[in-house]
Chains A and B, each alone.
Chain A
Amino acid sequence: MVLALVEVGEGAVEEVSLETLTLARSVAEAEGEPLEAVAFADGASELVDELGGFGVSALHVVDHDLLDSYAPDAWAESLRELIDDRSPAAVLAPGTDRGMEVLVRLAARLGLPMAASCTAVEVGDVYEVRRQRWGGSLIEHATLDAPTALLSVAPHEVAAEPAPVEETTVERFTPELDEGDVEVRVVRRKESDAEGVPLPEARVVVGGGRGVGGAEGFDQLEELAELLGGTVGASRAAVNEGWRPHDDQIGQTGAKISPELYVAAGISGAVQHWVGCKGADHVLAINTDPEAAIVRKADWAVLADLHEVVPAIVEELRAERGG
């Protein structure tokens, strides 16, 4: 079989996990094996229908008293024991902070190599993988030769495609864990006090770059974002200038966004920024330079100074709303 780690959010399987299941299913089909999933949340069994819709024939729900809060070593040890029990040909995990670190810990425990940030896999005597480097600015074709192939899946690079199976069984799995496995664990959470929708989840993102010219210039973008029910982001150049906090950064070393609309204002769109926003369904660029990379990749462009255009758009939207 092929095993996929899935992360469960508020009552639903995380999108990146559905993407992971989709790539894992292609590996399972090539191996001629069933696809099984493993989840750590108590409520995971309620999501069995959703997982079945993505080709999962068996869901292993890990259950242990020491698993009250997230502990990466405990997750890795649980996976190791499950692998010992079920001998999968491959184990795939989402390329999230958790998925990645758990898989590396598992790899270290098993003494195996691991391929991170994969976007495609070809199954053969050795696995041929396509993986992201430089946060997606560069693609590597590589081989992975291991008795169990360990692969993390780059987020938002594999489209989640349903493929229902007739029946999905739920199996409880209780690993043998001890206190050492929870030495590293989440001791508490801090809820975000930032207003608005987080960048990765926003339906509309208004991004500003060097062309914004200063921290106060972002006020206009905030206004536009608010009228569109969206969130403001920034390029690395704007963050480096200290105009916006790093949490707003979109790109290779910042957030990866996938909104329905990305309005890129005063951003040149170098590849390091593009890898963070290429998941957007639609891109509108506002830039004075018709040769800017972002203009050459956008769906629509306004070739003008954002300081003139953005207030005009805001005014138009306000007039429409008032009318």
Chain B
Amino acid sequence: METLVCIKRVPDTGARIVLTDDRSAVDATGIGYTISPHEECAVEAAIALADDHGGTSTALTLGAPEAEEQLRTAVAMGVDRATLLETHGEWGPIATAGAIAAAVRERGDPPDLLLFGNESADAGHHQVPIRVAAVLDLPAVTGVKGLDVEGERLVATRDAPGGEEVFEVDLPAVLSVKEGLNTPRYPSMRSRMQARRTEIDRSEPEAGEEPDVETVELEVPEREESPAEVLGEDASAASDVVRVFRELEVI
């Protein structure tokens, strides 16, 4: 079972979001970078599939040279190899998908499974997995929160109103997964140290010419603050809370 898991270096906006002066990007100097939450689950899935079915897993990222840090995190988690498609500046989903698909083609036959996060946390285009699948003419299932490989066939489930819907596709295939698929493992200090010595396969893809969505500027939504009416500071506030429930007609 060969898997390729595609990840992206994104600012860790668990903290307050600050923009660069020209409002073109998130200023991550004070908060650092990470792998998108959905993609951490994709990395975990790649490792678990290799554990269960044998074979190897490779992490790939397209981005700045510094994205090597996220590749090493994936290696520390347990993927076997790392590939950096080194780029400069922001690449849109069409160019990104084109470069990833070209890199897959250069390797020869596609891996059994190409894993992605459902959308990158920062740009949120929701497009790269499907566009890669389209270029490579592979089946794609998105929003996956459960997966089983049965021989040459993949069973993938995702949430739907009132339950789940189940897809079955032949391998090779493209999957984009959502947080909740699994619990990503936390790399040990020892595995982080080992990951520092892992050799990373590097290349510089050529940017495509296709037009894409162009960012003009970013904006952090207003905080929409309004002073709350304080109903109390201890358990005696319960009767006022119940009064509010009655006013809202929820009881």
Report the bound CA distance from A245 to B210 in whole Å: 42
Docked Cα-Cα span, A272 to B121, in Å, equals: 11
Q: B179, A113: Cβ atoms under 8 Å?
A: no
> Using Cβ atoms and an 8 Å threshold, which residues of chain B touch A192?
162-164
A183 at the interface (CB under 8 A from B): yes
Residues of A within 8 A of B106 (CB): none
User: In the complex, A152 Cα to B213 Cα: how many Å?
Assistant: 13
- With an 8 A cutoff between CB atoms, is B72 at the interface? no
**What is the chain B residue whose CB lies nearest that of A287?**
B228
CA distance A270 to B227 in the complex (A): 17
A301 contacts B241, C-beta separation under 8 Å? no
Q: Assess whether B124 is in contact with A133, with CB atoms less than 8 Å apart.
A: yes
Contact across chains for A309 and B165 when beta carbons are under 8 A apart? no
- Whether the pair A108, B242 counts as a contact (CB closer than 8 A) is no
Q: Mark A293-323, 1 if CB is under 8 A from B, else 0.
A: 1011111111110001101110111001000
Q: How far is the CB of B115 from chain A (nearest CB, A)?
A: 16
A284 and B231 CA atoms in complex are apart in Å by 10
Q: How many angstroms between the C-alpha atoms of A290 and B122 in the bound complex?
A: 30
Q: Chain B residues near A183 (CB, 8 Å)? A: 139, 169-170
Contact with B along A155-188 (1 / 0, CB 8 A): 0000000000000000000000000000111111
Q: Is B134 an interface residue (CB 8 A)?
A: yes
For the complex, give the distance between the alpha carbons of A151 and B192 in Å: 41
Closest to B119 in A: A116
Output the least CB separation between A245 and chain B (Å): 8
From residue 188 to 207 of chain A, which have CB atoms closer than 8 A to chain B?
Answer: 188-192, 198, 201, 203-204
B: number of interface residues (CB 8 Å): 81
- Contact, CB under 8 Å: B139 / A101: no
Contacts of A290 in B (CB 8 A): 230
| Closest A residue by C-beta to B156 | A184
Q: Given contacts A296-B227, A320-B251, is CB(A116)–CB(B214) below 8 Å?
A: no
A253–B118 CA distance with the chains assembled, in angstroms: 10
Within the complex, what minimum Cβ distance (angstroms) separates B3 from chain A?
Answer: 19
Given contacts A116-B126, A143-B216, A204-B250, contact A296 B223 (CB under 8 A): yes
Interface secondary structure of A, over-half rule: mixed
- Give Cα distance in the complex from A183 to B139, angstroms: 7
A300 pairs with B228, CB closer than 8 A: yes
Check: B17 CB closer than 8 A to any chain A CB.
yes
**Shortest beta-carbon distance, A260 to chain B, in Å?**
6
Within A58-112, the residues touching B (CB, 8 Å) are 70, 97, 100-101, 104-105, 107-109, 111
Give every chain B residue within 8 A of A210 (Cβ-Cβ).
none
Of listed A134, A227, A254, residue having the most chain B CB within 10 A? A134
Q: Does B89 reach chain A (CB closer than 8 Å)?
A: no
Which residues of B have CB within 8 Å of A70?
165
What residues of B have a CB within 8 angstroms of the CB of A272 in the complex? 13-14
Interface: A142 (CB within 8 A): yes
Instruction: Check if A132 is an interface residue, CB within 8 A of chain B.
Output: yes
- Determine if A223 is an interface residue (Cβ-Cβ < 8 Å): no
In the complex, chain A residues whose CB is within 8 Å of the CB of B180 = 245-247, 249, 254
Closest CB in chain A relative to B161 CB, distance in Å: 7
- State how many angstroms separate the Cβ of B76 from the closest Cβ of chain A: 19
CB of B2 closer than 8 Å to a CB of A: no
**Which residue of chain B has its CB nearest to the CB of A133?**
B124
User: Which listed residue, A114, A198, A308, touches B162 by the CB 8 Å rule?
Assistant: A198
Q: B158, B162, B212, B238: which contacts A315 (Cβ < 8 A)?
A: B238
**Chain A CB within 8 A of B47 CB:** no
Q: Is the CB of B219 within 8 A of A141?
A: yes
Q: How far is the CA of A103 from the CA of B141 in the complex (A)?
A: 14
Provide the bound-state CA to CA distance between A143 and B211, in Å.
11
Query: What chain B residues lie within 8 Å of A320 (beta carbons)?
Result: 242, 251
Considering the chains assembled together, what is the distance between the CA atoms of A284 and B237 in angstroms?
12
Report 30 cross-chain contacts, Cβ distance below 8 Å, ordered by A residue: A97-B143, A100-B142, A101-B126, A101-B130, A105-B130, A108-B131, A108-B135, A113-B212, A134-B13, A134-B124, A135-B121, A140-B218, A143-B214, A152-B126, A184-B140, A190-B166, A191-B163, A198-B162, A261-B248, A296-B225, A299-B229, A300-B244, A301-B228, A302-B231, A302-B233, A302-B237, A304-B232, A308-B235, A316-B238, A317-B251
Apart from A135-B124, A137-B17, A184-B140, 6 more pairs, CB < 8 Å: A97-B160, A116-B127, A253-B38, A260-B248, A260-B250, A303-B233
